[in-house]
């Protein structure tokens, strides 16, 4: 049985709903929600689907309040990086009303941070991970 019961699939670049940005386009914002409460020890995880990133770049994930959640660092054969789907732990206290106000920022060496584009971050998803 599929254990994933909630997704607020914000394929923002695909559905045209990218939230407006502040700080001179330095981050992309998402409002993710779970369709139901976690129960029986379930935990909420953040899945991010990335495409190929520029050399040396990483995507940093944080809450709207600035709490660092994690970062995505590509690790693949050069020239064969088709992107990946990665998992980042979501501390329960990062969720307010079961919503995660997420910001993603692309950081490249020697360049100012910026919002990732639609090909660099293709999807963002909250999933429930089974409990005991």
Partner 1 sequence: MMQADVSSLTRRRLLGAGAALAATAMLPSGARAQGAQFRRWEITDPAMPPRVLASYKTGISKMLALPPTDPRNWYRNAMVHLFDCPHGNWWFLVWHRAYLGWLETTLRDLSGDPDFALPYWDWTKTPSVPQAMFDGVLDPNNSGFIPTFDEFSAQFRPVVTTLYASFSQDQLGVLNDRGIATADDFMNLLPQVFFDQPSARGLTATNPDLDSDTRVAVSLPTIRSSLRTTQFAGDGGPNDPAGFASAKAPNHSAGSTKGILESQPHDNVHGAMGGGGGAFMVQFYSPVDPIFFLHHGNLDRLWDVWTRRQTALGRPTLPQGPDLDAWSNEQFRFFSNAQSQPVTQTNAGSYALPSVFGYDYSPGSGEDQVPAAGPVIASNPQVFSGAVLSERVGSSRAAGGTVRVPASALQAARADAGPRVAEITLNLTHEDLGRRFRVLVSPTPGVAPLAAGAITIFGHPHHGPVTFTVPLPNNLPAAGTTGEVSLDIRVVPIGNSVRPALAAGAAPTAPLVSGIKVRTD
Cα dihedral 92, 95, 97, 102, rounded to 10, equals -160
How far does Cα 82 stand from its chain's mean position? 17
Closest CB 22 distance from partner 1, rounded Å = 20
Kindly report the number of other CB atoms within 10 A of residue 93's CB atom: 8
- Widest pairwise Cα distance in the chain: 47
**Considering the rule CB under 8 A, would residue 95 count as an interface residue with partner 1?**
yes
**Considering the rule CB under 8 A, would residue 84 count as an interface residue with partner 1?**
yes
Residue selected from 22, 91, 111, 119 as contacting partner 1 according to rule CB under 8 A: 91
Q: Nearest-CA neighbor of 99 among 35, 28, 33, 23?
A: 33
**Considering the rule CB under 8 A, would residue 127 count as an interface residue with partner 1?**
yes
Residues of this chain that bind partner 1 (CB under 8 A) = 2-4, 7, 9, 37-39, 41-43, 45, 47, 49, 56, 58, 60, 68-80, 82, 84-89, 91-93, 95-98, 109, 123, 125, 127-132
């Amino acid at each position: 049985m599929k254990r994933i019961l909630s997704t607020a699939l914000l394929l923002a670049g695909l559905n045209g709903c990218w939230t407006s940005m502040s700080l001179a386009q330095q981050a992309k914002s998402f409002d993710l929600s779970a369709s139901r409460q976690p129960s029986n020890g379930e935990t909420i995880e953040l899945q991010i689907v990335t495409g190929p990133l520029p050399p040396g770049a990483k995507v940093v994930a944080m809450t709207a309040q600035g709490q660092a959640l994690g970062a995505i660092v590509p690790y693949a054969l050069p020239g064969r990086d088709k992107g990946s789907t990665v998992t980042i732990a979501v501390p329960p206290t990062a969720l307010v009303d079961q919503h995660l106000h997420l910001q993603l920022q692309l950081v490249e060496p020697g360049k100012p941070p910026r919002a990732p584009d639609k090909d660099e971050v293709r999807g963002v998803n909250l999933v429930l991970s089974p409990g005991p």
